[in-house]
Amino acid sequence: MRIGFIGLGSMGVGMAGNLIKGGHALTVWNRSADAAKPLAEQGAKVAATAAEAAAGADALHSMLANDAAVRQVILEGGVLDTLPQGAVHVNHATVSVALARELADAHERRGIGYVAAPVFGRPTVAAAGELNLVVSGKPDAVAKVQGLLELLARKVWPMGDDPVRATIVKIGGNFLIGAAIESMAEATTLTRAHGVSAKDFLAVMSGSLFASPIYQVYGGLIAEEAYSPAGFKMSLGFKDIGLARAAAEAERVPMPFASVIHDALLEALAAGDGELDWSAMARVAARRANLDDSRD
């Protein structure tokens, strides 16, 4: 199968590599050309433009940062005019509900399949092909790319025909991750103020009551203050919590804790921490309590 892959950030590069390992011919594109070099060494063709990466593809995967990037590259960059009819575009980005609907309509008008397949997992998980993919789209489009999705994922979670369904599951899931991080940030600040280190407290919590990947992974980052390099940047977390608030407002769904997380992330961005991992919300909580960031 001829595959295009657009967006080779910390997640996309590992995902594209797994498609190559699966025996597929890839044409890749990234705004920063240097990101494509490891894939070129694995046999991928490097395109000069996103539209060139899409030309003649049976399937196109994209992993772009936000709504603005998806709009600029996919809707305004000639990609949909280049993809042949009958091809399928698999969008792995976390986008707004409004843009998900717009994308579905734009693809439908051109006779191109559209599958929303946002991912849960960090860069190391992506590179290992162990992501959780939440997938929705028309059955024929999903069936065409099912084998490709399985190369990327530990599990593919079907969410029905409407691409909005996978999109809102991803938004809701990222809200839950943000809520867990903020809860750990506040709880560890409380224990530190009373002489118990974040490392000791989180070892108990992640090994007993909250023995789950989110608490273990992000708790470990908080315990070690391992905020850089970021697996998921604070700025991206701020974007995703904004998507949750917008989706909630559209349907009149009160989400008071989303506002708490939003404000913590905004405070971090104001302090210049936007490039840190969003587990660094613990730094915000510590500053509020007049505790420094050094380890106990």
Over the stretch 73-107, which tens digit does the pLDDT of each residue have?
999 999 999 999 999 999 999 999 999 999 999 99
Closest by alpha carbon to 224, among 236, 233, 216, 234?
Answer: 216
The answer to whether the CB of 5 falls within 8 A of the CB of 53 is yes
Greatest alpha-carbon span in the chain: 63
Instruction: Give the DSSP H or E segment for 29.
Output: strand 25-29
Mean of the per-residue pLDDT values of the chain: 96
DSSP the chain: -EEEEE--STTHHHHHHHHHHTT-EEEEE-SSGGGGHHHHHTTPEEPSSHHHHHTT-SEEEE--SSHHHHIIIIISSSHHHHSPTT-EEEE-S---HHHHHHHHHHHHHHT-EEEE--EES-HHHHHTT-EEEEEEE-HHHHHHHHHHHHHHEEEEEE--S-HHHHHHHHHHHHHHHHHHHHHHHHHHHHHHHTT--HHHHHHHHHTTTT-SHHHHHHHHHHHHT--SS-SSBHHHHHHHHHHHHHHHHHTT---HHHHHHHHHHHHHHHTT-TTSBGGGHHHHHHHHTT--SS--
pLDDT value at position 293? Answer: 60
Mean pLDDT, residues 265-289 taken together: 97
Least confident piece of the model among 31-40, 51-60, 102-111: 31-40
Q: What is the pTM of this model?
A: 0.94
Catalytic residues: 170
Nearest by Cα to 57 from 134, 139, 112 = 112
**What pLDDT, on the 0 to 100 scale, is given for residue 129?**
97
What pLDDT is stored for residue 146 in this prediction? 98
pLDDT higher than threshold 90 for residue 201: yes
User: What percent of the chain is modeled with pLDDT above 70?
Assistant: 99
Sequence-ordered list of residues with C-beta below 8 angstroms from that of 199, at least 6 positions apart, any chain? 223, 224, 295, 296
What is the token pair recorded at 112?
A: 């191109």
Residue 296 has what pLDDT? 45
- Would the pLDDT of 294 be above 70? no
Given the structure tokens 């809520």, which residue do they identify? 179
What pLDDT does residue 141 have? Answer: 98
Q: How far apart are CA 145 and CA 142, in angstroms?
A: 5
- Is residue 71 predicted with pLDDT exceeding 80? yes
User: Taking 50 as the threshold, does the pLDDT of residue 39 lie above it?
Assistant: yes
Decide: 60 and 31 in contact? Cβ < 8 Å.
Answer: no
